[in-house]
Amino acid sequence: MGLDFYLHQPFAQHALAAGTLVAVITGLVGPFVVTRGAAFAVHGTAELSFTGAAAGLLIANDPVTGALLGSLVVATAIGLLGARQRERDSAIGVILAFGLGAGVYLLSHYHGFATEATNILFGQIFGVSNRQLLLLLGVACLVAVTMAVLYRPLLFASVDPDVAQARGVPTRAVGVAFLYVLALTVTEAAQIVGTLLVLSLAITPAAAAGRLSARPATVTALSVTFALVAADGGLLASLQTNVKASVLVSTISFALYLGARLAGTTLRTRRRPHHPAHPRRARPG
């Protein structure tokens, strides 16, 4: 059966719509994940969305709502426990370990279909219902609007925290707000590629974009484009090949990154040394 046939099926249309939504918000958030060194926060919140999904499944037979609410709890916990960068990574590790244990316990009490559990881990893109799609749409809009409002102070606080603070940016509050945005985004992406492969949408496209440009707006645009290509491309390829969508999404994403690295080596080297007599100095201490 051709792609044409599938594109007229509601399940495929839902999947593409959901994939597009998720690609846009992960593409927006990704560059900040890279500049803030928050890859571990992505990984942690993604794995913890398993716990939230398991709780949702057990209580209301609704893993998506459970994962979204759980991600807000996780963002709050990370924000409270980890104020500084180094502290934050260990705080995420602590919460991650406990949260996964709780998730395993919750799942042991679930006696429904085992596929529901594996869907949480590896994505369930072709099973998106109308109601879930509306929920995803609502959260995606919330994330996109919040990112638009936060954009400048978040950029300032991420690349230049001391001066941002001196200029009046509430750097701590902005960081916590970003944690919530990140947790919601990651949980949405987990619906498409599964908790285990979230990094392929939340980090890889942004990392690829960062190899090609140093202009923040361009990096964001490229990051969104790459995420769209990976998510929608992976879904379409999956319809034709019977390979699981998350596998193809992560493969395309990785291929884009490799391509960007190859192209970027020439772009990012400096055109000319400005003061040959005074090489770049590291700050002492």
Partner 1 sequence: MPPTIRTPGRRGDPPATATAHDVPDRAGHAPANAHPPVADPAVRLSGATLRFGQRALWDGLTLDVAAGEFLAVLGPNGAGKTSLLKVLLGLHRLSAGTVTVCGHTPHRGSAHVGYIPQQKAFDPDLPLRGRDLVGLGRDGHRWGVAPLWRGRRNRVDQAIAAVGAAGYADTPVGLLSGGEQQRLRIAQALLTDPAVLLCDEPLLSLDPHHQHAVSNLIDTRRRAAGTAVVFVTHEVNPILPLVDRILYLVAGRWAIGTPGEIMTGETLSALYGTDIDVVRVRGRIVVVGAPDAAHAEPGRGHHHPAGHDHAPAET
Whose Cβ is closer to partner 1: residue 2's or residue 276's?
Answer: 276
CA dist., res. 137 & res. 155, Å (int): 25
**Nearer Cβ to partner 1, position 127 or 161?**
161
Question: From the CB of 166, what's the least distance to partner 1, in Å?
Answer: 4
Residue 122 has φ and ψ, to the nearest 5°, of -115, 5
- Which residue lies nearer to partner 1 by CB, 1 or 166? 166
- Tell how far CA 276 is from the center of its chain: 41
CB of 39 to partner 1, least distance (A): 14
Closer residue to partner 1 in complex, CB, 112/170:
170
Interatomic CA distance for residues 33 and 118, integer angstroms: 27
Choice between 109 and 283, CB closer to partner 1: 283
> Minimum CB separation from partner 1 for residue 160, in Å?
7
Q: Distance of CA 78 to CAs 40, 88, 94, 99, Å?
A: 11, 7, 10, 12
> Residues in the site for partner 1, rule: CB under 8 A?
31, 34-35, 148-153, 155-156, 159-160, 162-170, 209-210, 213-217, 219, 268, 270-271, 274-275, 278-284
- Output 131 or 268, the one with its CB closest to partner 1: 268
- Taking the least distance from each CB to partner 1, the nearer of 111 and 280 is 280
**Cα–Cα distance, 83 to 249 (Å, whole number):** 34
Quick one: which of 186, 220, 257 has its CA closest to 42?
A: 186
Q: Are 181 and 32 in contact (CB under 8 A)?
A: no
Residues in contact with 51: Cβ distance below 8 Å, sequence separation at least 6, in sequence order: 70, 99, 100, 102, 103, 106
Q: Give min distance, CB of 134 to partner 1, in A.
A: 27
Smallest separation, CB 30 to partner 1 (Å):
11
User: Own/partner pairs for 211-216, CB < 8 Å, 24+ apart?
Assistant: 211/257, 211/260, 211/261, 211/263, 211/264, 211/267, 211/268, 212/260, 212/263, 212/264, 212/267, 213/267, 214/268, 216/31, 216/155
Q: How far is the CB of 170 from partner 1 (least distance, A)?
A: 8
* Least Cβ distance, residue 79 to partner 1 (angstroms): 20
Least distance between partner 1 and beta carbon 220 (Å): 9
Q: Smaller CB distance to partner 1: residue 131 or 215?
A: 215
Q: CA torsion angle for 107, 109, 115, 117 (degrees, to 10)?
A: -10
